[in-house]
Structures are given as structure tokens and as C-alpha cells.
């Protein structure tokens, strides 16, 4: 299993190659982003290709009983599907079975023109968890928002992954269970907040000649001697909140950047009738266009609050409470603290040491009720962006046409 500290240290080497845009609204005027709007997207890939998605150039899928099949049999392949339209806050639900094998990455990505990003990435050699992360405006200098979500048999079974992205928070679910929450109030300057395309696919990150940090993050060099590595995407459902925190009821045509700030408040929502509006401010909720009502419920009450300090320490606390009407007879409490001081990642001769400490406390009755709290702390000095030479090396490493297609809008 990849430790969180190892991933955080090596991700700095890989991330700069993972994001690119054909037109940055932070620098120039760009075409409008077509909106998913109230019609939503619902694709059942067991029935074949879906009109809401396109195969990026140089990539391809086959379709069968398990849905869309992304097959990797050699370095340079990266089967990728991208939505034709965008969402401005919304919910993404994907039924996926990740591809197995070291060096193989299966991804679910939300990515905007100005490089706001929310992603889930499955490393094929780690069958017990999937990585969740966010980035803002293409800033690859901070990596403390990485979260590892437990998954049972990641590469051997189909699982449903959900990202619920509102004006105030991002919730990550696995098979209907809330695993992590990122709150805008905790990362106000780093919160993804611009219209995003959906991308899913698989790619080869571990291969001879690639950056050592990237190979390490991917679990090693991919081995194709025993046949292809297959990822499966059974279905994708997309709901557009159109600037709000619940499904829009408006006939939205497109989203336009009103200035070069990359702020959600600058996004203009153009409706099919020719009128325009703007999204909700954080904490107002609503369904876009100035509405002020929203609702959200869950059978559990999880909370996850990451924070950053000047020393580069990030703390994520997740609490899940399960209630029962039956009277408890016995109660047990356990505490496990696991300090892990690992990894030295090398970026242009600069060494970075990262420490992870996980503390778990639990109280559980014999009827199954109780509370479990897990706190993970990652301590590291501030990450320094790779120099031009290192970034150029990464670009060369990931510069294969298919990999570039996966991360270019």
C-alpha cells in the first residue's frame, strides 16, 4: 500500500504534467463553455458509446457487458473519454473498475479551462484505496490536500465513485458512503470554482525513462508481458448545479468567464432564452441564478477539514457516526497511532522529507453503534515548484501523444 506521505512527496514530480489547457481565461478571452444544464448526463456504457462524451484524439474504447473498456497494452496508450459540455458546480457519479498493475493509473477528473481540478486516481498496484485531490488555477506547488479513500478490491470489482461539488464544499463518496469533505472556508484561495469538463480514462505513468518520482508514485514500471491492463467504466451520471449547490432547473446554454480572475463570481451563466445571470455566493446554496435554497442529507455525519500552516503541515480529520435505537450493553475504545517517517523525494537535487501520523480513536457498542474518528497529519516543508529543467523533463516524460491528450482540454 502506498503511504500518504510517499504519494504527497512524489506527486510534486508528476502533477505539472497532468494539467494543460488550450486557452487560459486567466490570460486571454476564450470561447464559451457549453453547459450540461438541466438536462444532465446519464450514460450506460453497457449499451455502447454515449453521445455526451467524445474519445480524445489518438485514444479509443471498446464496449461490452462491463461497459466502456480502456485497454492498455503498451507505453503511450491512454484511452480517454471527455464530456462535450461542462458543469459549474455539480455532481459526478462514475461506476468504475480500475485497471490493475504497477505503473497503471485509472483516473476520474474534473478540469476547467483555467486549470481548476478535482480528481480521483487509482494506482493499479494499490488495491485498497483511491487518491483524491484538488488543485486551483494550475498551481502545482501545494500538495497537502491529498486524501486517500479506502476501497475494497479497487481493481477487482466495480465501485461507484461520487464527487459532489458545491459552492461551499466537495464531498467524495465510495459506494454511497461519504469518505471525505473539503470545505471552501478552509481553502478559500485554493477552492476549485470554474466550469469543468469530465474526463475518465487510464494511462501509463510507470515506464523506463520517465521521471523517477512519477514511476515511484505509480508503483513501479508497468509490465505488459502478461497481457493488457483493462479499466472498465460501466456508467456516468452528471448533474449540473449551474453556479449553485443543487440541480439547476434552468435551461442553461453556456458559461463565460467575465474577467481574468478565475473567480466563481465572475462566471456569466447564459440561458437559452438569451438572458444572463450569475451563480450563488458561497453559503447561499440554491440551484444557480440567485436561488437560495438547497438540501443535502446523508445517513452518516462525516466531516473532513484540511488546513495549512506556514510550516507546511496539513491535517485532515474525518468523523463518521452511526446511531442505533437499541440500548448498548458494552463499550470499547481503541486508539492507534502510527507515525510513518518515510520517503525522500528528489527534485533537481532538492531533498524533501515527509512525515505522516495517523491517529484513530473508536467507541463502539455491541449493537454496532458508535463513533470512529480518524485524523491524518502530513508534515513537510513547503513544496518548491520544480525548476524549468525539471518541468521540461516531466513534459518529455509525459509528452506521449495519448498522455497529452488525456490532460489537454
Q: Tell me which residues are annotated as active site.
A: 117, 121
39 backbone dihedrals φ, ψ, rounded to 5°: -70, -25
Cβ atoms of residues 340 and 357 within 8 Å? yes
Q: What distance in Å separates the CA atoms of residue 365 and residue 174, rounded to the nearest whole number?
A: 25
Q: Which residues fall within 8 angstroms of residue 184, CB to CB, at 6 or more apart? A: 167, 168, 169, 191, 282
Q: Is 287 exposed, middle or buried (0-12, 13-18, 19+ CB in 10 A)?
A: buried
298-305 long-range Cβ contacts below 8 angstroms, 24+ apart:
298/178, 300/177, 300/178, 302/178, 302/179, 302/180, 302/181, 303/181, 304/147, 304/180, 304/181, 304/182, 304/183, 305/181, 305/183, 305/186
Task: Please state whether 221 falls in left (phi above 0), alpha (psi between -120 and 50) or beta.
Answer: beta
DSSP helix/strand/coil, 337: strand
Tell which phi-psi region holds residue 343, choosing left (phi > 0), alpha (psi between -120 and 50) or beta.
left
Grid cell, residue 18, equals 497532468
> Using CA atoms, how far apart are residues 312 and 231, in angstroms rounded to an integer?
35
CA-to-CA distance for 159 and 175, rounded, in angstroms? 6
| CB atoms near residue 185 (< 10 Å) | 11
- CA distance linking residue 382 with residue 17, whole number of Å: 20
3-class state of residue 247 by DSSP:
coil
Specify burial of residue 260 (Cβ count, 10 A radius: 0-12, 13-18, 19+): middle
Q: Within 10 A of 191 (CB to CB), how many other CB atoms are there?
A: 21
Amino acid at each position: 500500500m502506498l503511504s500518504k506521505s510517499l504519494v504527497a512527496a512524489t506527486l510534486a514530480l508528476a502533477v505539472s504534467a497532468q494539467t494543460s489547457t488550450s486557452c487560459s481565461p486567466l490570460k486571454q478571452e476564450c470561447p464559451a463553455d457549453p453547459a450540461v444544464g438541466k438536462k444532465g448526463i446519464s450514460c450506460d456504457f453497457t449499451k455502447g458509446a454515449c453521445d455526451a462524451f467524445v474519445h480524445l484524439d489518438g485514444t479509443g474504447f471498446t464496449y461490452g457487458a462491463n461497459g466502456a473498456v480502456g485497454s492498455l497494452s503498451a507505453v503511450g496508450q491512454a484511452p480517454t473519454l471527455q464530456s462535450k459540455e461542462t458543469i459549474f458546480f455539480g455532481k459526478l457519479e462514475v461506476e468504475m473498475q480500475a485497471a490493475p498493475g504497477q505503473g497503471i493509473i485509472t483516473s476520474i477528473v474534473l478540469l476547467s479551462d483555467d486549470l481548476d481540478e478535482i480528481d480521483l486516481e487509482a494506482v493499479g498496484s494499490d488495491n485498497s484505496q483511491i487518491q483524491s485531490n484538488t488543485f486551483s488555477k494550475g498551481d502545482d506547488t501545494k500538495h497537502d490536500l491529498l486524501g486517500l479513500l479506502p476501497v475494497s478490491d479497487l481493481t477487482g470489482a466495480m465501485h461507484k465513485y461520487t464527487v459532489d461539488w458545491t459552492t461551499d464544499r466537495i464531498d467524495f463518496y465510495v459506494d454511497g458512503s461519504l469518505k471525505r469533505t473539503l470545505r471552501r472556508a478552509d481553502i478559500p484561495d485554493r477552492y476549485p470554482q470554474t466550469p469543468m469538463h469530465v474526463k475518465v480514462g487510464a494511462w501509463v505513468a510507470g515506464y523506463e525513462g520517465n521521471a523517477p518520482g512519477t514511476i515511484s508514485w505509480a508503483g513501479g514500471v508497468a509490465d505488459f508481458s502478461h497481457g493488457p491492463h483493462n479499466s472498465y467504466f460501466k456508467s456516468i451520471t452528471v448533474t449540473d448545479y449551474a453556479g449553485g449547490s443543487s440541480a439547476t432547473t434552468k435551461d442553461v446554454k453556456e458559461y463565460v468567464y467575465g474577467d481574468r480572475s478565475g473567480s466563481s463570481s465572475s462566471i456569466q451563466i447564459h440561458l437559452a432564452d438569451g438572458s444572463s445571470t450569475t451563480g450563488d455566493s458561497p453559503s447561499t446554496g440554491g440551484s444557480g441564478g440567485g436561488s437560495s435554497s438547497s438540501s443535502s442529507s446523508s445517513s452518516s455525519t462525516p466531516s473532513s477539514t484540511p488546513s495549512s500552516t506556514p510550516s507546511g503541515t496539513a491535517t485532515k480529520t474525518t468523523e463518521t457516526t452511526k446511531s442505533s435505537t437499541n440500548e448498548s450493553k458494552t463499550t470499547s475504545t481503541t486508539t492507534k497511532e502510527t507515525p510513518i517517517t518515510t520517503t525522500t523525494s528528489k527534485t533537481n537535487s532538492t531533498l524533501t522529507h515527509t512525515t505522516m501520523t495517523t491517529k484513530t480513536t473508536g467507541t463502539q457498542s455491541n449493537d454496532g453503534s458508535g463513533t470512529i474518528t480518524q485524523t491524518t497529519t502530513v508534515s513537510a516543508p513547503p513544496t518548491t515548484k520544480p525548476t524549468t529543467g525539471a518541468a521540461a523533463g516531466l513534459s518529455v516524460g509525459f509528452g506521449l501523444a495519448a498522455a497529452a491528450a488525456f490532460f489537454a482540454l
